[in-house]
Amino acid sequence: MVAIRAVYHNGQLKLLEPVNLDEGQEVQVVILDQRKLAYEVLGDLVASPQNNDDEDFDEVALFKQLDETTRGTTLSDLIIEERHTGP
């Protein structure tokens, strides 16, 4: 499986990277919302936001919450620690 980033504009997906496909080749597209994906990946590190609407999304509050949750430890160090100790 190959992941390619794209932007939805005027009813079409515009690829942000070149792809190596044959003309007429059929592909399957999976749409991933980057914000929802980030929450899933971070899992237990970040509490669920109060409101997940794009219009009300407060990025500064999210980063503050992440800093408080990680207590100044980098995300990389937390992942490494979890791999050694388990979830």
Domain boundaries, the chain: 41-87
Residue 85 pLDDT class (50, 70, 90 cuts): confident
Question: Is the pLDDT score of 41 beyond 70?
Answer: no
In the prediction, which pLDDT does 14 show? Answer: 92
In the prediction, which pLDDT does 10 show? Answer: 93
pLDDT tens column, 60-79: 777 777 777 767 677 677 77
Say if CB 70 and CB 43 are below 8 A apart.
no
Strand partners, 14: 7
pLDDT: which is higher, 31 or 54: 31
CA distance 31 to 72: 33
Cα distance between the two ends of the chain: 28
In the prediction, which pLDDT does 29 show? Answer: 86
